[in-house]
A and B are shown apart, each in its own frame.
Chain A
């Protein structure tokens, strides 16, 4: 049981480039989330998904897109990278039935230059 996995661990992008951050979970959780963590700040929600085929925006969705074709995978797409997207990105998941705890992946550190 690997829990929540994320790839890559670290990436440097040039302004205007695109990339996809991968997230997978093997706990059969229905809810999945993408957060970003800026220096000195807590995590903010980018997008979330309540199940395969269903996604919705969080607090800071601009510049990102997501898809969820399977229960296990929830990739985050950056189309035109900007310096403001330099951050650490966390994927999380939980089984939504009341107070289920969210489990986090190890994070992806992204640097946009």
Chain B
């Protein structure tokens, strides 16, 4: 069974379009994340939800809107796509253990290409 899954794996679209990426985890974790990985492999945290509550909201254009319908799902909606949004987007999940977090488990990534 896939622990953290993302759909779609590839997404090619035109500038100005709106698109969504979905993420699901079956690990029973309480925290989920979205990361953006640029062409130089740098990973930047975008958002994090703990039990459906937004706990991390980095400096990200408000065209990006996360939504967590339940603990197992975290979706990312992007409005008015721009060329600079082209990247690989990773979803991850983790569990709070006491006062610290256990390791993150990552999805396979969604490669977004904006033309």
Q: Please determine whether chains A and B interact with each other in the same assembly.
A: no
Interface on A for B, CB 8 Å cutoff?
A: none
